[in-house]
């Protein structure tokens, strides 16, 4: 299980972030390395074209461009994209202050300058080992700058309409009990039921019956629908109806548009 | 408890949107100061969204909504509970002219220690070359292999040269020196993460080479050449390396935290802005040193008199001392 960064505000609100491990960070670094390499090659080509006028100046520009891009790329993008480079953005990683406060420029600068140490002796061995053994998956630059790299995975959302739509759900005829079910089921229980429905065809018959029996019994204990509604209902159908109630609410239309949420999540 | 989620979202959405707009405005205009009413409103919205998050957190089927509210709460939390200076704008000139000398003076103890390490290393290098003929070959790094021979012979070659040895590649050479020296300095500062030990080793090893070269040229009777060659860029380059070492020692001291009751996090937070200012300072100095080393230091008599180069070096050094120790610097940036 990935380590998490837990932050509890003085108002008593807690939220957590999944910390990015060395492997996914290495992948992001490879993407960034390719981007900087391409940028340096393009600038070198431009420098060679400039060499028609002065070879000395064009070579100077090339060597400085390489240096500025290799050192400044991370600093520039992590600052203007609030903790993300192109590689991090593609892999949904973000640099954050370890206390959840506003990321400061000096933190971005420091963690990027310490790459020179983290990269020792080659291929980020020091940084990788530090990150591997760190409680908060921090390389040395992160330790010095008091930053962490968090991972915001995009959950794979199943096509619930295809999975559940078109099937009559007798539980919906009791809106007050439907609302109570949404209120009493915890997020973890809801996810468990959803996964059971999604993967039901992968199960052998006996475990499948046992699993849905257990789940149905649990949910029936939370909310008591009238006996005539659930008496003839198989356990699997009951669980499917519960998932339908939990995940296919009419609230979808009233949610903030996805675009607005994406902007807020930056 | 939320019974009617659509109604809850309809009722609370304006609050979320308002907070989001305020946060976007803060991000876009980091230096803007909010009026008291705005601050109060911001705080109220933060509390309302926090409460909404607490209500949604137990709601099974709305992970997306929860993430959205978590994101809003986290952003607002970062703004409300942040007490550090707003260092939002990228102001390298301001940092170089004001924050750099301020950080340098504030951390002058670490600079003094760096100077002591340099002197010990230089004395060691000087003694090594005086008492051991093979020391030069054993100690000098590969990039100084051209200095392994007899100094007098080198001076004779330099002074009898009829063409520009740099062959019209001064700009390239200057660029090479700048990036190389800045890299070495950044590494020296970064090695402070080893509780300062790496920085001390790096400083000591560079000082040994310096002491060795200086004593070698003095013993060969080439003091004027050596001063004319090293002073114009050395009076900037060597203090730059010392300032990088100063940064590394400051970082190391913050990690050790001897005699400091603040937590490690607080100690690192306290030194971070100073390390940034010192980096900005030595990087700027090394750009200048690279230009001087390429365009002036490599020319010798009869093209230019040594006393002229020495005088130039001393003048630079005087300006540097004034800049670092005596120049009046602007007040620190205001706290929000």
Residue-level pLDDT at A254: 40
Question: A227-238 b/e with 16+ CB inside 10 Å = b?
Answer: eeebeebebbbb
Task: Give the residues across from A14 on adjacent strands.
Answer: A8
pLDDT: is A224 or A179 the higher one?
Answer: A224
Q: What confidence tens digit (pLDDT) does each residue in B87-100 have?
A: 556 788 888 999 99
Tokens of A73: 């790329």
Q: Which of A5-14, B77-86, B248-257 has the weakest average pLDDT? A: B77-86
**Confidence (pLDDT) at B165:** 67
d(CA B321, CA B274): 19
Cα of first residue to Cα of last residue in chain A, in angstroms, is 25
- pLDDT-derived band at B308, boundaries 50, 70, 90: very high
pLDDT for position B59:
65
**Does residue B223 register a pLDDT over 80?**
yes
Answer whether B241 touches A (CB < 8 Å).
Answer: no
| Backbone Cα Rg of chain B | 28
Contact A169/A233 with Cβ under 8 angstroms? Answer: no
Half-sphere exposure of B213 (CA within 13 A, CB side): 19
Side-chain-side CA neighbours of residue A140 (13 Å): 25
Per-residue burial over A67-90, b = 16 or more CB atoms within 10 Å of its CB, e = otherwise:
bebbbebbbbbbbeebbbbbbbee
Please indicate if any CB of chain B lies within 8 Å of the CB of A175. no
pLDDT band with cut points at 50, 70 and 90 for residue A255:
very low
Angstrom distances, CA of residue B11 to CA of A20, A189, A260, B4, B48 = 36, 27, 17, 11, 12
Calculate mean pLDDT across residues B10-20.
87
Gap between the Cα atoms of A169 and A173, Å rounded: 8
Average pLDDT over residues B307-319: 96
Higher pLDDT pick, A258 / A97: A97
Peptide bond into B302 cis (omega under 30): yes
Q: Please determine, for residue B309, whether its predicted confidence score (pLDDT) is greater than 90.
A: yes
Identify all chain A residues contacting B26, using CB atoms and an 8 Å cutoff.
none
- 0.80 surpassed by pTM: no
Contacts of B27 in chain A (CB under 8 A): 82
| Residue A191 binned pLDDT confidence (cut-offs 50, 70, 90) | confident
Test mutation, A114, A194, A262, chain B, max B CBs within 10 A? A114
Report, as an integer, the average pLDDT of A59-80.
Answer: 90
pLDDT of residue A253: 41
Query: pLDDT band at residue B333, thresholds of 50, 70 and 90?
Result: low
Q: So what's the pLDDT on residue A140?
A: 94
**A5 CA to chain B: closest CA distance, Å?**
12
Which of A127-131, A190-194, B224-228 is modeled with the greatest confidence? B224-228
The pLDDT of residue A252 is above 50: no
Contact A13 B179 (CB under 8 A): no
pLDDT at A251: 41
- Give the residue with greater pLDDT, B83 vs A265: B83
Give A47 or A146, the one with higher predicted confidence.
Answer: A146
CB contact residues (below 8 A), chain A span 89-128, against chain B: 97-102, 104-107, 109-110, 113-114, 116-117
Q: So what's the pLDDT on residue B336?
A: 40
DSSP string, A192-219: HHHHHHHTGGGS-HHHHHHHHHHHHHHH
Q: A220-224, B161-165, B274-278, B280-284: lowest mean pLDDT where?
A: B161-165
Percent of chain A with pLDDT over 90: 29
Share of residues in chain B with pLDDT > 90 (%)? 54
Rounded mean pLDDT, A24-37? 93
In which band, very low, low, confident or very high, does the pLDDT at B135 lie, cut at 50, 70 and 90?
confident
Choose between A137 and A1: higher pLDDT. Answer: A137
| A146 chain-B contacts, CB cut-off 8 A | 265, 268-269, 272
Between B42 and A254, name the one with better pLDDT.
B42
The per-residue pLDDT for range A208-226, each reduced to its tens digit, is: 999 999 999 999 888 888 8
> By the 8 A CB rule, do A28 and A88 touch?
yes
Q: What is the pLDDT of residue A263?
A: 44
Token pair for residue B205?
Answer: 């090893």
Locate B31 and state its tokens.
């230096």
Closest chain B C-alpha to A41 CA, distance in angstroms: 18
The pLDDT, as a whole number, for residue A175 is: 84
**In this predicted structure, what is the pLDDT of residue B196?**
95
At residue B190, the pLDDT reads 95
pLDDT band of residue B80 (cuts 50, 70, 90) is confident
Does B273 have pLDDT greater than 80? yes
Q: Which residues have a Cβ under 8 Å from the Cβ of B45 and sit 6 or more positions away?
A: B15, B18, B19, B22, B76
Q: What is the mean pLDDT of chain A?
A: 83
Least confident of A61-70, B30-39, B150-159: B30-39
pLDDT at A55: 79
Provide the chain B residues 93-122 that lie in CB contact (below 8 A) with chain A: none
Residue in chain B nearest A67 by alpha carbon: B179
> Which pLDDT belongs to residue B276?
93
Query: Is the CB of B74 inside 8 Å of chain A's CB atoms?
Result: yes
Q: Which of B82, B80, B26 is nearest to B49 (CA)?
A: B80
Q: Considering only A112-121, B54-63, B83-92, B120-129, which range has the smallest mean pLDDT?
A: B83-92
Q: How many CB atoms lie within 10 A of CB B177?
A: 21
């Amino acid at each position: 299980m990935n380590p998490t960064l837990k932050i509890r505000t003085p108002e008593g609100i807690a939220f957590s972030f999944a910390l990015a491990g060395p492997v996914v960070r290495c992948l992001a670094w490879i993407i960034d390395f390719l981007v900087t390499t391409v940028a340096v090659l393009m600038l070198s080509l431009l420098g060679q074209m400039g060499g028609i006028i002065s070879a000395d100046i064009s070579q100077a520009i090339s060597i400085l461009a390489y240096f500025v891009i290799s050192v400044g790329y991370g600093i520039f993008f992590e600052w203007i994209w609030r903790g993300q480079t192109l590689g991090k953005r593609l892999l949904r990683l973000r640099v954050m202050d370890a206390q959840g406060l506003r990321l400061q420029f000096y933190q971005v600068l420091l963690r990027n300058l310490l790459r020179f140490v983290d990269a020792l002796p080659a291929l980020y061995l020091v940084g990788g080992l530090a990150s591997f053994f760190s409680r908060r998956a921090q390389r040395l630059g992160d330790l010095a700058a008091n930053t962490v790299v968090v991972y915001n995975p995009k959950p794979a959302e199943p096509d619930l309409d295809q999975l559940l739509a078109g099937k009559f759900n007798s539980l919906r005829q009791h809106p007050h009990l439907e609302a109570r079910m949404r209120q009493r089921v915890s997020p973890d229980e809801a996810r468990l039921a959803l996964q059971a429905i999604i993967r039901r065809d992968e199960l052998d018959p006996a475990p499948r019956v046992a699993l849905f029996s257990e789940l149905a019994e649990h949910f029936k204990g939370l909310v008591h629908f009238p006996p005539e509604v659930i008496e003839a209902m198989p356990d699997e159908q009951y669980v499917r109806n519960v998932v339908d109630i939990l995940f296919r609410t009419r609230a979808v239309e009233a949610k903030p548009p996805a675009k607005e949420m994406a902007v807020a999540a930056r | 408890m939320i019974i009617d989620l659509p109604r809850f979202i309809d009722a609370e959405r304006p609050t979320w949107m308002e907070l989001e707009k305020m946060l976007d405005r803060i991000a876009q205009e980091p230096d803007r100061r909010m009026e008291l009413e705005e601050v109060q409103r911001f705080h109220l919205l933060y509390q309302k969204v926090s409460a909404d998050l607490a209500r949604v957190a137990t709601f099974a089927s709305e992970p997306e909504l929860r993430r959205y509210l978590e994101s809003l709460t986290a952003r607002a939390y970062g703004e409300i509970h942040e007490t550090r200076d707003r260092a939002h704008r990228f102001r390298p000139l301001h940092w170089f002219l004001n924050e750099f000398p301020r950080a340098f003076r504030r951390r002058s103890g670490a600079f003094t220690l760096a100077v002591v390490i340099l002197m010990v290393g230089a004395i060691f290098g000087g003694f090594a070359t005086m008492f051991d003929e093979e020391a030069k070959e054993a100690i000098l790094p590969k990039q100084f292999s051209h200095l392994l021979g007899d100094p007098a012979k080198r001076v004779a070659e330099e002074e009898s040269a009829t063409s520009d040895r740099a062959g019209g590649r001064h700009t390239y050479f200057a660029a090479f020196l700048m990036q190389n020296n800045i890299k070495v300095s950044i590494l020296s500062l970064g090695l402070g993460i080893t509780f300062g030990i790496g920085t001390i080793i790096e400083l000591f090893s560079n000082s040994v080479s310096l002491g060795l070269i200086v004593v070698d040229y003095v013993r060969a009777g080439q003091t004027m050449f050596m001063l004319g060659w090293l002073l114009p860029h050395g009076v900037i380059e060597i203090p730059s390396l010392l300032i990088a070492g100063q940064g590394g020692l400051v970082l190391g001291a913050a990690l050790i935290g001897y005699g400091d009751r603040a937590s490690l996090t607080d100690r690192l937070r306290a030194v971070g802005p100073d390390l940034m200012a010192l980096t900005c300072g030595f990087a700027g100095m090394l750009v200048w040193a690279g230009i001087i080393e390429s365009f002036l230091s490599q020319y010798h008599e009869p093209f230019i008199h040594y006393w002229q180069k020495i005088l130039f070096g001393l003048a630079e050094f005087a300006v540097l001392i004034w800049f670092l120790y005596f120049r009046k610097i602007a007040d620190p940036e205001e706290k929000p």
